[in-house]
Structure 1
Amino acid sequence: MFRITNFQEIMKGMPRGPFDAIVKKHNANKYTKQFGYWQHAIAMIYGQLSGASSLRELQAGFNGHFAHHYHLGASAIKKSTLADANSQRKEAVFVDVVQWLMQKASRSVRQQSKEWLCLLDSTPIFLRGREFDRWTEESKTRHTQGLKLHVLYDTKAEVPTWQSMTAPNVNDVTKAWDVPLQKGAIYVFDKGYCDYGWWREIDLAEAQFVTRFKCNAGVSIEKELPIEAVDKDIVISDQLVRFKHKHARAKCKLHYERPLRRVTVIREDKATPLVLATNDLTNSARDIAQRYKERWGIELFFKWIKQHLKIKRFLGRSENAVRIQLLTALIAYLLVALHKQTHQLKATLWECLCLIRATLFQCKGLDEHRERKRRQKEEIMKQFQTQLFT
């Protein structure tokens, strides 16, 4: 009796049909022969889930399970072929696959949740040394050389919903304009995204935002809002404010004219208070402070993928190879998250990944089947022994 492996079960989250439609959309398989985009994706996802740290290790591990290749729609791989694919294949195919999986992973959770909290931030991917310097030197900054990964993170589904990769010298707020804004969402970001015109776009999209004012923000106080007695140990002030000046700069054609709330809260670990800005005029100051506090969730996401997936040691040193490896790391993360959602597992995402990594090519339910057979044999033997001595 045929039983699918745990790897095949994971890959159900990314069906072959939608994947092939994306490849066809980009006409990407035109010049490929045996090693198509599907097998390329399978190999790279295997590398992420298994924790392979080199092309040689990936090749040996994947080819060692040749009996399962047919059911995955794959065949044995060569490290030279995979290296060439990573350096030459179209990044756009993997970008679209990531976006498709993001929408799938967040859709069901979003429908069940009343509040949709999205966190926006970026993280540097450090790339320095032989071959990396050829394409990272020109765009490096004082602190970072390599790439920058921009992510919009859904706190309920615990998955990213938008991503982009840029050079490190690209300002965060520049990419913020590319974020797809959704009605009813709450966007939380730090003061690195201070662009009043973009804040206005969020407001026009009928969404809310929570961020921080810069210390030199020119605002006038319109009204002092009352602070609830239970919040006085946290909230210093709650005010309705409006910007004093219109921005005459050529780049800033939009101006935020509506009133905002300025909520000043105490920080236990620092002497200076936290000054928050939001277009939410109804919720309590404590709720607004709590939303900004949850911004730490995206930092934990960045820490998670850097610790548990392969985005520090790369299988290729060209820009295209690095980008494809980063995208397949996001695909692997989303597939594990979808597996957790589909099977309603109580374990953490890290525990799920550990179990998947340890039993990647183990047949699904095989251990339970063998244990059931063993117990049946034991019962038969007990009955037989009882008959012998009666």
Structure 2
Amino acid sequence: MGKSIHFSGQPLYSQVIKLLDKSKILQTSRKYGGEHYVKRFDGWTHLVVMLYAVIMRFDSLREIMASIQAEARKLCHLGITTMPSRSTLSDANKRRPEIIFESIYRDLYTTYRNILSSDSRQNRDTAWMKRLQIIDSTTITLFSNLLFKGVGRHPKTGKKKGGIKVHTVIHANEGVPSDIKFTSAA
């Protein structure tokens, strides 16, 4: 069986990475102290690895590192010179301030928000529509009945404990989240 001649375009991951500016991301990381005590695993590599994990829907550091090491030859064009170990990724997740990634998101949001919003919303830019914001709050439970039976249950009441609350603000005329905050679900 020969090679397919119908392949066109690029993989989703490559398209997402092309939207990012490596020098700007490293500058942001330096600005907020994300490059202190870092030898090889800089802010760019950290962001690329974490985006890869989100797109591939991985749940653990072990899954992330196993997949990245298996795909090492295919990922070298992204600027990853050495494959990090699991402990390096864990340390980077602990030490690198989250304000770096927030700043990167806000910069991407201001750059691409008009491109990402649909054409139908841009045509009805009345004054009240520009000011209208949609606010949503969603709870994500950390323990599922299917995966971890009994884990996270209170011993006396039997109710599940543990979760994340996601607070999102979307401008009605854009359709792209302008602000996302994570808090503990209580």
Q: Give the TM-score of the pair, scaled to structure 1.
A: 0.35
**Deviation (angstroms), 1:65:** 2.3
Cα distance in 1, alignment partners of residues 28 and 55 from structure 2: 23
Q: Is the 8 A contact 1:148 1:166 kept in 2?
A: yes
Q: Which moved more, 1:52-61 or 1:37-46?
A: 52-61
Give 2:135's aligned residue. 120
Cα distance in 2, alignment partners of residues 5 and 33 from structure 1: 31
Give 2:22's aligned residue. 16
**Deviation (angstroms), 1:33:** 1.0
Change (3 A) 1:51 1:163: closer
Change (3 A) 1:19 1:62: same
**Deviation (angstroms), 1:144:** 6.5
**Deviation (angstroms), 1:45:** 0.7
Cα distance in 2, alignment partners of residues 143 and 102 from structure 1: 36
Q: 2:168 aligns with which of 151, 165, 169?
A: 151
Point out where structure 2 has 5 or more consecutive residues left out of the alignment. Answer: 1-8
Cα distance in 1, alignment partners of residues 55 and 184 from structure 2: 27
How far does the alpha carbon of each residue in 1:128-178 deviate from its partner, in whole angstroms, 9 at most, with x for none?
69xxx8xxx9xxxx9864332211024454320112223345xxxxxxxxx
SS in 2 for 1:27: coil
Give 1:374's aligned residue. none
1:64 aligns with 2:87: no
Cα distance in 1, alignment partners of residues 59 and 185 from structure 2: 25
Cα distance in 1, alignment partners of residues 94 and 84 from structure 2: 16
Percent identity for Structure 1 against Structure 2: 26
Point out where structure 1 has 5 or more consecutive residues left out of the alignment. Answer: 170-390
Cα distance in 2, alignment partners of residues 78 and 155 from structure 1: 42
Q: Is the 8 A contact 1:126 1:145 kept in 2?
A: yes
1:207-218 to 2 correspondence within 5 Å? none
Cα distance in 1, alignment partners of residues 87 and 66 from structure 2: 13
SS in 2 for 1:31: coil
Give 1:79's aligned residue. 86
Q: Is the 8 A contact 1:105 1:157 kept in 2?
A: no
SS in 2 for 1:163: strand
Give 2:56's aligned residue. 50
Change (3 A) 1:5 1:36: farther
Cα distance in 2, alignment partners of residues 154 and 23 from structure 1: 28
Give 1:26's aligned residue. 32
**Deviation (angstroms), 1:29:** 0.2
Q: Which moved more, 1:106-115 or 1:36-45?
A: 106-115
- The two structures, once aligned, show a CA RMSD in angstroms of 3.1
SS in 1 for 2:114: helix
Q: Is the 8 A contact 1:69 1:76 kept in 2?
A: no
Q: 2:177 aligns with which of 160, 172, 176?
A: 160
Q: How many positions carry a matched residue from both structures?
A: 157
Change (3 A) 1:5 1:79: farther
SS in 1 for 2:33: coil
1:94 aligns with 2:101: yes
Change (3 A) 1:24 1:107: farther
How far does the alpha carbon of each residue in 1:202-259 deviate from its partner, in whole angstroms, 9 at most, with x for none?
xxxxxxxxxxxxxxxxxxxxxxxxxxxxxxxxxxxxxxxxxxxxxxxxxxxxxxxxxx
Cα distance in 2, alignment partners of residues 83 and 73 from structure 1: 20
Cα distance in 2, alignment partners of residues 84 and 5 from structure 1: 32
1:1-390 to 2 correspondence within 5 Å? 6=11, 7-74=13-80, 75-108=82-115, 109=117, 112-113=122-123, 114=125, 115-116=129-130, 117-127=132-142, 145-168=162-185
Q: Give the TM-score of the pair, scaled to structure 2.
A: 0.69
How far does the alpha carbon of each residue in 1:82-120 deviate from its partner, in whole angstroms, 9 at most, with x for none?
122222321111121222222233234499341444311
SS in 2 for 1:119: strand
Letter in 2 for 1:86: N
Cα distance in 2, alignment partners of residues 22 and 147 from structure 1: 27
**Deviation (angstroms), 1:59:** 1.5
